[in-house]
Amino acid sequence: MSGEFNLIDRYFSHRQENRSDVQLALGDDCALLTVPTGYQLAVSTDTVVLGVHFLADANPADIAYKALMSNISDLAAMGATPAWLSMAISMPKFAQEVENNATLGTDDWFTENWLEAFCDSMFTLANQHNLQLIGGDTTNGPLTITFTIQGFVPSGQAMTRSGAKLGDWLYVSGNLGDSQAGLEVILDPSKSNRPHAQYLVQQHFRAQSRINFSQSLRGLASSCIDISDGLTSDLLHILKRSNVSARLNIDALPVSIQSCDFYGSMAQAQQAALTSGEEYELCFTVPDQYKTEVDKLEATSNENFAKAYCIGRIIAHPELTQQPEIQLYLDDKLLNSNNSSKLLTGFDHFKS
């Protein structure tokens, strides 16, 4: 591969103007930054790996968007505003730099055009969120991309997983299940003939930002998490950190018309909505006194399809277990444990 400094200069440097809070960015041993007075710094790191999060034939622009949106979504879960970004990327050699073509193997797809498309998409999304790349690292190896994102949240106003209380209402911020349907098309091309298949693939790679919507929840939501591993899996994180349980109404789950058509039934679309990973919608809880105000957010958000959908309520632990639990209801009836267990398995990167 071209020398590290030449690569950085060609693809990553000189792509953005410095933010006012960035005194020194790319080109030195460290970045020098200023956190505004009255704000806390929110920091998150995510890694995407070839063969785990995407396949070699995936569009590099989609990979960049999805990888960065995963980090942006973490900031949204805290109610933070994006500011700075670091990236560490391990890359195979460019195909044109390998002398013996017989050794190319599965890396023959990795070209300068691939990296250029990746960077163009990454910087486009970063610029949309006033997010500046301030540093990182490059090395040779299997394709692995790690982003560390940093943002600001007013001191004491960050939304966490640990604030849910008995009687709080349970919400999500948009349709669920599209990402799983899109992934099914990617993994099983025979499903590409189903209705809306390509739309759902696009939804898998191009989740909508919820940054603006999340900031409108500050001071209203008692807890929040972004849905990366599936609604039920991520909701359990809130329940465990808050030491509560939840009633979840399956028939209140927001699902798209496209998902229903793809699966052929509302029931299958609802099951996908329960477990679909990498949705990057928000799951949050709201005290009863703020419910009316949060419900009004349905008409005021300027982000595509962002609405406050009430899907259940926070309840006490079952008497027998006294452990955090999700109780699934359908048509106002509690499902038995056998039916519930089939619906509660979320996305796991180590099993997929």
127-158 pLDDT, tens digit per residue, is 999 999 999 998 889 999 999 999 999 999 99
pLDDT surpassing 70 at residue 225: yes
CA angle 185, 62, 145 (to 5 degrees): 110
Q: Point out the least confidently predicted range of 142-146, 257-261, 290-294, 336-340.
A: 336-340
168 annotated ligand binder: no
136 annotated ligand binder: yes
pLDDT surpassing 50 at residue 323: yes
Decide: helix, strand or coil at residue 250: helix
Burial, 348: exposed, middle or buried (Cβ in 10 Å; 0-12, 13-18, 19+)? exposed
Tell me, what's the pLDDT at 245?
98
For residues 18 and 21, give the distance between their C-alpha atoms in angstroms, rounded to a whole number: 8
Q: Point out the least confidently predicted range of 245-259, 262-276, 315-329.
A: 315-329
161 annotated ligand binder: yes
- Tokens representing 67 are 């990888």
325 annotated ligand binder: no
For residues 60 and 260, give the distance between their C-alpha atoms in angstroms, rounded to a whole number: 29
Pairing between strand 39-49 and 144-154?
antiparallel
Task: Name the DSSP letter for residue 98.
Answer: -
Q: How many residues does the chain have?
A: 352
For residues 305 and 287, give the distance between their C-alpha atoms in angstroms, rounded to a whole number: 23
107 annotated ligand binder: no
15 annotated ligand binder: no
129 annotated ligand binder: no
Decide: helix, strand or coil at residue 335: coil
34 CB contacts (<8 Å, ≥6 apart)? 21, 23
For residues 231 and 217, give the distance between their C-alpha atoms in angstroms, rounded to a whole number: 19
5 annotated ligand binder: no
193 phi/psi in degrees, rounded to 5: -90, -5
251 annotated ligand binder: no
45 annotated ligand binder: yes
Q: Tell me the residue type at 295.
A: D
Helix axes 112-128, 60-78, angle to 10 degrees: 30
Tell me, what's the pLDDT at 56?
84
321 CB contacts (<8 Å, ≥6 apart)? none
196 annotated ligand binder: no
Tell me, what's the pLDDT at 343?
66
Tell me, what's the pLDDT at 108?
76
> In whole numbers, what is the pLDDT of the chain averaged over residues?
90
52-83 tens-digit pLDDT: 888 888 999 999 999 999 999 999 999 999 99
For residues 307 and 294, give the distance between their C-alpha atoms in angstroms, rounded to a whole number: 9
**Domains in the chain, CATH or no CATH each:** 4-154 (3.30.1330.10), 169-343 (3.90.650.10)
179 annotated ligand binder: no
For residues 65 and 114, give the distance between their C-alpha atoms in angstroms, rounded to a whole number: 14
pLDDT surpassing 80 at residue 4: no
- Tokens representing 84 are 């700075």
What is the enclosing helix (H) or strand (E) of 285?
strand 282-286
Q: How many CA atoms lie within 13 A of 127 on its CB side?
A: 9
Distances in Å between the Cα of 290 and the Cα atoms of 56, 128, 284, 294 are 46, 30, 13, 6
93-123 tens-digit pLDDT: 886 554 444 443 446 788 889 999 999 999 9
137 annotated ligand binder: yes
Contact between residue 322 and residue 210 where contact means Cβ atoms under 8 Å apart:
no
Tell me, what's the pLDDT at 78?
98
116 annotated ligand binder: no
